[in-house]
């Protein structure tokens, strides 16, 4: 393994990060005072962090405002750009979803700060089995934590949230692998349906998820931090296209899990460059921080990364 990875790791380091600063990107928090016209609006904060406004419910997914996706503040993958929305400017949140306990999906400093914010004081925190212990340790009230097993559902306002399987793993150190569960999620409202794939390799279950919980207006699938050596846990852009089609291929594909941290062996723009020209693919790829309406059949192709 080291002989395969070593040359890529050391020789390709320069291309894995932008040559200069990105942004700045900025979210105007006053936008949240108005409901989305379409009923579905998403603010991509970066990587896998998003605010999803769906059928009157506002959901924050995998909150990471931390400077690094790492256990320390002085080493580890560093953000390519600042979060476009200050945590203190978060609008009122109805639910927070944490898909698993990896550092790029669960930022400890972020959770500590959020635990004291008025914007989330009434939020339901939703996570897979075993993750609530860490959230409670970081200050989230235990009464607000709800653990779900795969196929369990809960209702938040008009939206049903269902934890679904994914092909990945968990752990925040070499010594706690697989001690907590990981999950993808279906968000089903009366008018819209979104699939959040979180982290996953390709697997046959996508077809069944699409049949049982779709069709989806939007499927959020990871495209970054990929390599053939770890295809079992990260699908990459080509796998995202195949997985999107396995989910039913309807609606729009939103690429996530790219463009913010150096977590792979590839050029930082390579994931989006690979998926951009795919024929027949309805791509929905917004500028970080811009609250963007999701309209059926209408692509969104921001080229901020160029």
In a domain, 17, yes or no: no
* Residue 62: pLDDT band with limits 50, 70, 90: very high
Q: By residue range, what is the domain housing residue 86?
A: 24-289
In a domain, 6, yes or no: no
Say whether 97 sits in a helix, a strand or coil.
strand
How far apart are the C-alpha atoms of 55 and 78, rounded to whole Å? 34
pLDDT in tens, 115-167: 999 999 999 999 999 999 999 999 999 999 999 999 999 999 999 999 999 99
In a domain, 127, yes or no: yes
How far apart are the C-alpha atoms of 86 and 104, rounded to whole Å? 18
In a domain, 298, yes or no: no
In a domain, 13, yes or no: no
How far apart are the C-alpha atoms of 199 and 99, rounded to whole Å? 8
Over residues 183-210, mean pLDDT: 98
Other CB atoms closer than 10 Å to residue 81's CB: what's the count?
17
Over residues 172-197, mean pLDDT: 96
- Segments in the chain forming alpha helices (H): 2-11, 108-114, 132-137, 205-213, 236-246, 270-275
What is the CATH classification number for the domain harbouring 262? 3.60.15.10
In a domain, 148, yes or no: yes
Total tally of structural domains belonging to the chain = 1
pLDDT in tens, 69-115: 999 889 999 999 999 999 999 999 999 999 999 999 999 999 999 99
In a domain, 2, yes or no: no
In a domain, 36, yes or no: yes
pLDDT in tens, 248-304: 999 999 999 999 999 999 999 999 999 999 999 999 999 999 999 999 999 999 999
What pLDDT sits at residue 155? 98
């Amino acid at each position: 393994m080291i002989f395969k990875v070593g040359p890529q790791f050391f020789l390709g380091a320069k291309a894995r990060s932008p040559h200069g600063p990105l942004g700045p990107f900025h979210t105007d928090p006053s936008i949240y005072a108005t409901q989305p016209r379409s009923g579905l609006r998403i603010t991509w904060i970066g990587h896998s962090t998003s605010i999803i406004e769906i059928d009157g419910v506002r959901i924050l997914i995998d909150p990471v405002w931390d400077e690094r996706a790492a256990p320390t503040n002085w080493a580890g993958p560093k953000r390519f750009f600042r979060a476009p929305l200050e945590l203190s400017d978060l609008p009122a949140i109805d639910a927070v979803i944490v898909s698993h306990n990896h550092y790029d999906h669960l930022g400890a400093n972020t959770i500590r700060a959020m635990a004291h914010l008025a914007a989330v004081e009434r939020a339901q925190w939703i996570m897979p089995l075993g993750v609530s212990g860490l959230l409670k340790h970081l200050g989230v009230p235990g009464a607000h934590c709800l653990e779900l097993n795969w196929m369990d559902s809960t209702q938040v306002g008009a939206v049903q949230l269902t934890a679904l399987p994914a092909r990945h793993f968990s752990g925040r150190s070499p010594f706690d692998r697989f001690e907590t569960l990981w999950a993808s999620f279906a968000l089903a409202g009366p008018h819209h349906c979104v699939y959040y794939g979180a982290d996953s390799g390709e697997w046959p279950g996508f077809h069944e998820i699409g049949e049982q919980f779709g069709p989806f207006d939007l499927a959020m699938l990871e495209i970054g931090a990929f390599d053939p050596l770890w295809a079992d846990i990260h699908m990459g852009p080509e796998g995202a296209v195949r997985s999107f089609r396995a989910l039913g291929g309807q609606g729009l594909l939103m690429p996530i899990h790219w463009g913010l941290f150096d977590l792979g062996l590839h050029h930082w723009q390579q994931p989006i460059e690979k998926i951009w020209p795919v024929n027949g693919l309805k791509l929905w790829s917004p500028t970080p921080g811009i609250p963007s309406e999701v309209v059926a059949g209408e692509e969104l192709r921001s080229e901020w990364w160029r």
